Amino acid sequence: MRWYGGIEAGGTKFVCAVGTGPEDILAETRFPTGRPEESIGQAIAFFRGQRVPLEAVGIASFGPIDPDPSSPTFGYVTTTPKPGWAHTDFAGAVRRALDVPVGFDTDVNVAAFGEHRWGAAQGLDTFVYLTIGTGLGGGGMVNGKLLHGLMHPEMGHMRVPHDWCTDPYPGCCPYHGDCWEGLAAGPAIEGRWGRPGESLPPDHPAWELEAGYLAYGLVNLICVLSPQRLILGGGVMAQTQLLPLVRRKVQELLNLYLQVPAITDKIDDYIVLPGLGSRAGVLGAIALAQTLTP
Amino acid sequence: MRWYGGIEAGGTKFVCAVGTGPEDILAETRFPTGRPEESIGQAIAFFRGQRVPLEAVGIASFGPIDPDPSSPTFGYVTTTPKPGWAHTDFAGAVRRALDVPVGFDTDVNVAAFGEHRWGAAQGLDTFVYLTIGTGLGGGGMVNGKLLHGLMHPEMGHMRVPHDWCTDPYPGCCPYHGDCWEGLAAGPAIEGRWGRPGESLPPDHPAWELEAGYLAYGLVNLICVLSPQRLILGGGVMAQTQLLPLVRRKVQELLNLYLQVPAITDKIDDYIVLPGLGSRAGVLGAIALAQTLTP
């Protein structure tokens, strides 16, 4: 058996695991994200503490990052405002400590990769994976490869319609105010209603509004990428009343312009939750690691 | 010498050419778009009238279309509201008449392909080509291949912020009202100001507003696709005062969130006009035809 390590490095917590896939995780740990030397050190110590040798490690990192293997700063967290993390050689530190190949991409691209391998995106070549939680971000594949381009997507920073009359909340993105993330991620729900989304009842008007903002962004993703499926993960989607509202609003906004059965007839199969649940990131990191050995 | 045919089928006019590239066009014709049997017939007659045999023909078509070669309706214009054109087997008619391989894609994807081959996208693997004219549409490549996914992009139908106080114009998209196209394509300029954009002076407030809407959509494309370049074609971009305004507004909206030199320092090289000018579509169609023969 060949074992692989995965690190899901989120803004609030790290998840590390050793295994070969969803049915075969040998060990797993999670801890709050601290300063880089501390958190990366904890991850390395966890892997060193396993009794099996690792073939490779995959990292799903919060960003912005440099995911370009041909770049001198490949594997770095780049310009994040997160204290201490700007310009951190994350992948390099892990590679030097463990002496194995290290894969590195955004948290959402790696989760997308996990969903492609074992979850809700199997067999697709163009799809989007979104996380809607403390932030709002997206990754995915186009033509069977992870989206990169100039750098990597920052889907949460799209601009969407904001009706200030019905929703005077100004948004909470420190860069853009009422961008998609600033209006629709978890902190925006809390900022707008004065208490966390988890404490709002399922019939609270917050959810209708939230579904509307999510639908605006999804419609934009559909118009730009023409994905074969949209996978919505993250803590906010744990509100089970949300997904049906989102599907209906996407159809309303598109207004039969795109006469594709996937959208007009089978939207329950088009906008879905992650097949791997909350484990898409760490499992994707293991899947990414598996691409690094022959 | 091996000769190829290209058809750029726009909503208002057809352009047909025979040649091998931008420097070598043997013959070219253009005529208004009529009903399908009429326009497709004129194109076929033009190609039959040439004294050289054609190896293949490429078609850049208005849409929506079916560009999937594995689909039974490949080569069809599908659900367009354009009179007579819904469910027209465009590529099939050309193939049967001329007995050569026929390539078929959206007008904007084919123009993107032309720009990649001979224009402003040479050497890039992820970029967007937009046309801003009687409509607003976009295509492009991701990971070195044209964007398709579930169907094809419909970038003009993204939703963008619309401040009804400063701009009470409701938008003119028959499906979505104030989607990006409904606010920013040529007919929206004319609808909002009561006369065609070409008749408005360069310092008219129309252009500042137009640049703002274009910038919203471009920012969304940057956030979703992370393109290495954005190429803006179409009649509206003939207003030379527009491009510098658009570049500045994109930078303002991104607000240094993406610290990439291409955007922060070299935006004049990042948001550009087509290298092939207004000939990207028909030349792209010839480039597409060239991929069909060994």
> A37-88 pLDDT, tens per residue?
999 999 999 999 999 999 999 999 998 999 999 999 999 999 887 889 999 9
Averaged pLDDT of chain A? 97
Size of interface A-B (CB pairs under 8 A): 151
Compute the distance between CA of residue A248 and CA of residue B210 in angstroms, rounded to an integer. 31
User: Residue B130: closest CA among chain A residues belongs to which residue?
Assistant: A224
Q: What is the ipTM of this complex?
A: 0.97
Q: Are A130 and A273 in contact (CB under 8 A)?
A: no
For residue A158, list chain B residues with Cβ-Cβ distance below 8 A: 219-220, 223-224
pTM score, whole prediction: 0.97
DSSP state of A269: G
Tell me which residue has tokens 């959509």.
Answer: B217
pLDDT digits (tens, 9 = 90+) for A111-155: 999 999 999 999 999 999 999 999 999 999 999 999 999 999 999
Please return the burial class of A135, using the count of CB atoms within 10 Å of its CB with bins 0-12, 13-18 and 19+.
buried
Compute the distance between CA of residue B198 and CA of residue B130 in angstroms, rounded to an integer. 19
pLDDT score recorded for residue A20: 97
Give the minimum alpha-carbon distance from A43 to chain B in angstroms, rounded to a whole number.
28
**Is A154 close to B256, i.e. CB distance below 8 A?**
no
Q: Are A160 and B217 in contact (CB under 8 A)?
A: no
Could you count the other beta carbons within 10 Å of the beta carbon of residue B221? 25
Q: Are B14 and B293 in contact (CB under 8 A)?
A: no
Buried b (16+ CB within 10 A) or exposed e, A240-262: eebbebbbebbbebbeebbebeb
Whether the CB of A1 is below 8 Å from some CB of chain B: the reply is no
Q: Which token pair is B70?
A: 């594995």
3-state SS, one letter per residue, for A202-254 = CCCHHHHHHHHHHHHHHHHHHHHHCCCCEEEECHHHHCCCHHHHHHHHHHHHH
Residue B209 carries which side chain, given as an amino acid letter?
L
Compute the distance between CA of residue B73 and CA of residue A147 in angstroms, rounded to an integer. 29
pLDDT digits (tens, 9 = 90+) for B140-169: 999 999 999 999 999 999 999 999 999 999
Whether the CB of A121 is below 8 Å from some CB of chain B: the reply is no
For residue A155, list chain B residues with Cβ-Cβ distance below 8 A: 223-224
CB-closest option in A148, A158, A222 to B220:
A158
pLDDT score recorded for residue A165: 95
Which pLDDT band, with edges at 50, 70 and 90, does A294 fall under? confident
Q: Are A135 and A11 in contact (CB under 8 A)?
A: yes
Compute the distance between CA of residue B157 and CA of residue B173 in angstroms, rounded to an integer. 9
Which pLDDT band, with edges at 50, 70 and 90, does A11 fall under? confident
Nearest to B212 by CA among B237, B179, B249: B249
Whether the CB of A249 is below 8 Å from some CB of chain B: the reply is no
Compute the distance between CA of residue A11 and CA of residue A62 in angstroms, rounded to an integer. 6
**Is A148 close to B159, i.e. CB distance below 8 A?**
no
CB-closest option in A149, A223, A260 to B227:
A149
CB-closest option in B78, B151, B224 to A224:
B224
Whether the CB of B243 is below 8 Å from some CB of chain A: the reply is no
Q: Which token pair is B252?
A: 């303002």
pLDDT digits (tens, 9 = 90+) for A162-221: 999 999 999 999 999 999 999 999 999 999 999 999 999 999 999 999 999 999 999 999
Q: Are A203 and A240 in contact (CB under 8 A)?
A: no
**Is A150 close to B262, i.e. CB distance below 8 A?**
yes
Compute the distance between CA of residue B139 and CA of residue B60 in angstroms, rounded to an integer. 11
Give the minimum alpha-carbon distance from B224 to chain A in angstroms, rounded to a whole number.
5
For residue B143, list chain A residues with Cβ-Cβ distance below 8 A: 142-145, 147-148
Buried b (16+ CB within 10 A) or exposed e, B115-147: bbbbbbbeebbbbbbbbbbbbbbbbbbbbeebb
Whether the CB of B1 is below 8 Å from some CB of chain A: the reply is no
For residue A142, list chain B residues with Cβ-Cβ distance below 8 A: 142-143, 145, 147, 149
Tell me which residue has tokens 């955007």.
Answer: B263
Reported as type and span, the H/E element at residue B189 is helix B186-193
User: Residue B126: closest CA among chain A residues belongs to which residue?
Assistant: A149
User: Residue A259: closest CA among chain B residues belongs to which residue?
Assistant: B79
Beta strands in chain B (DSSP E): 3-9, 13-21, 24-32, 54-61, 76-77, 88-89, 102-106, 127-132, 136-142, 145-146, 230-233, 271-272
**Stated length of chain B:** 294
State the distance between the two ends of chain B, measured CA to CA, in whole angstroms: 14
What is the largest distance, in Å, between two alpha-carbon atoms of chain A? Answer: 60
Helix, strand or coil, per DSSP, at residue B216:
helix
Of chain B residues 166-185, which have a CB less than 8 A from chain A?
A: 175-176
CB-closest option in A138, A175, A221 to B255:
A175
User: Residue A174: closest CA among chain B residues belongs to which residue?
Assistant: B257
- Low pLDDT (below 70) residues in chain B: none
User: Residue B127: closest CA among chain A residues belongs to which residue?
Assistant: A149
**Is A160 close to B157, i.e. CB distance below 8 A?**
no
**Is B160 close to A159, i.e. CB distance below 8 A?**
yes
Of chain A residues 127-146, which have a CB less than 8 A from chain B?
A: 138, 142-145
Phi and psi, residue B281, nearest 5°: -65, -55
For residue B226, list chain A residues with Cβ-Cβ distance below 8 A: 147-154
Whether the CB of B258 is below 8 Å from some CB of chain A: the reply is yes
